[in-house]
Amino acid sequence: MQVLYEDNHIIAVVKPAGVLSQGDKTGDISIFDEIKKYLKEKYKKPGNVFLGLVHRLDRPVSGIMLFAKTSKGASRLSEQFRNREVKKMYHAIVCGNPGKNKGLLTHHVIKDEKLKKARKSEKGEEANLYYEVIKSNGKYSLLKIKIDTGKFHQIRSQLSFAGFPILGDIKYKGEEWEGDKAIALRAAHITFKAATEERMVNLTIDVPEEWQRYIK
């Protein structure tokens, strides 16, 4: 497990693609479980270890996740997420070329509970996605992405609605690739405020090595 940052209240790790954010009915191991084990062993805690889940990444998505080590950390982080003070940036490889170097995608999106996917609907709330093309070879493009809100499958669905779905995201019409249980979407940067200090923390991870062959 890759730990990017840790203080008394907050820990930031890189969740691998294919790993659950939190345990579910499958019983598969989650990054939540791995962090609890790490904290228990590192600090030699005899009983149950507190760990607060304050946001999630979809199972096939990789990238930076924040967890709270204390109730104070959970409260402060949750407040930052609620007030949209946590700033995130994603990288994605999409099929095709958006046509413009920069753009804003706006859709009204709702969650289809039956199909477990997002779809366009006038009844849905407005979702905005900002993208910038970092590199493109025509067939595939590497994008930098920012969103204002965290709607269900927002990035995955909006890119698909716009005609350039994420590589590997079969659910949203993306092409198959070699990424096992993964799609080419990564939470690559996050900025947040430390729980008990007036200090901003900036964390960034690189584009995965295995993506490079698609954007040469």
pLDDT digits (tens, 9 = 90+) for 86-124: 999 999 999 999 999 999 999 999 999 888 899 999 889
Cβ distance 129 to 170 under 8 Å?
no
Look at the alpha carbons of 6, 10, 16, 22 in this order and tell me if their dihedral is positive or negative: positive
Q: What is the mean pLDDT of residues 29-45?
A: 94
Q: Is the pLDDT of residue 131 over 80?
A: yes
Q: What is the pLDDT of residues 197-210, one digit of tens each?
A: 989 999 999 999 99
pLDDT at 24: 84
Q: What is the mean pLDDT of residues 132-143?
A: 97
* DSSP-derived 3-state class of residue 76: helix
Q: Could you tell me the pLDDT band of residue 76, with boundaries at 50, 70 and 90? A: very high
Query: What's the whole-model pTM score?
Result: 0.93
Report all structural domains of the chain as residue ranges with CATH numbers, in order of start.
Answer: 2-214 (3.30.2350.10)
Q: Could you tell me the pLDDT band of residue 73, with boundaries at 50, 70 and 90? A: very high
CA–CA separation, 71 and 35 (whole Å): 16
Which DSSP letter does residue 209 get?
Answer: G
| Type of residue numbered 197 | E
CA–CA separation, 158 and 108 (whole Å): 9
CA–CA separation, 94 and 135 (whole Å): 11
Q: For all residues of the chain together, what is the average pLDDT?
A: 94
Q: What token pair was written down for 204?
A: 């960034």
Phi, psi angle pair for 36, to nearest 5°: -60, -40
List, by residue number, the catalytic residues: 58
